[in-house]
């Protein structure tokens, strides 16, 4: 095959979300979060980062092509953004673990939010809108 040959496959132009620039930090760096937030947990995937604050909020940023940032879309971001779905549902982020292209979040429901039973531990995978019920446990002290 040679250039211009009808049998030579053409390379498709990059898709907009693939073309978005996302900086990659090869060395440890300070997190650019609002000063009043205290971070309790940090996890990094291959191209995204998530933090849980002591106040139970989840912030994510980086490459979001597979919805792993949890903002209801596949957009990427170089700046941390709070995952508003958890706030809207009244859920408290307890732990976060990022895989290469996924984000797993352990959240607590506040007492009395849905039923008189003890708070539930729920797991949110990839995107908060794909929640699955987890085992019933009491929150950590």
Q: Quote the number of domains for the chain.
A: 1
pLDDT score at 19: 54
Domain boundaries, position 129: 37-136
Q: What is the pLDDT of residue 31?
A: 75
Is 9 inside any structural domain?
no
Q: Backbone phi, then psi, for 18, in 5-degree steps?
A: -75, -30
- Is the residue at 17 inside a domain? no
pLDDT in tens, the chain (141 residues): 444 445 544 434 445 555 556 667 777 777 778 788 899 999 999 999 999 999 999 999 999 999 999 999 999 998 999 999 999 999 999 999 999 999 999 999 876 665 444 444 444 444 444 333 343 343 444
Tell me what pLDDT residue 141 has. 42
At 30 the pLDDT is: 78
* One-character DSSP codes across 53-121: ETTS-EEEEE--TTSTT-SSS---EEEEEE-HHHHHTT-EEEEEEE-SS-EEEEEEPPTTSS-SSPPEE
pLDDT at 135: 35
Domain membership flag for residue 107: yes
Q: pLDDT value at position 54?
A: 94
Model pLDDT for residues 59-79, shown as the tens digit of each residue: 999 999 999 999 999 999 989
Is the residue at 83 inside a domain?
yes
Determine the straight-line distance between the first and last CA of the chain, rounded to whole angstroms.
Answer: 67
pLDDT score, position 21: 60
In a domain, 129, yes or no: yes
Output the pLDDT for position 113: 62
Whole-model pTM?
Answer: 0.66
């Amino acid at each position: 095959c040679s250039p211009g040959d009808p049998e030579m496959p053409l390379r498709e132009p990059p898709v907009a979300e693939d073309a978005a620039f996302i900086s990659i930090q090869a060395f440890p760096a300070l997190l650019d979060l609002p000063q009043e937030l205290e971070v309790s947990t940090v996890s990094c995937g291959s191209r995204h980062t998530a933090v849980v604050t002591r106040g139970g909020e989840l912030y994510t940023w980086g490459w979001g092509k597979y919805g792993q940032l949890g903002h209801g879309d596949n957009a990427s971001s170089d700046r941390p953004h709070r995952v508003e779905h958890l706030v809207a549902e009244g859920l408290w982020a307890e732990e976060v673990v990022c895989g290469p292209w996924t984000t797993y979040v352990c959240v607590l429901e506040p007492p009395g939010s849905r039923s008189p039973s003890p708070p539930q531990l729920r797991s949110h995978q990839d995107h908060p809108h794909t929640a699955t019920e987890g085992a019933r446990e009491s929150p950590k002290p």
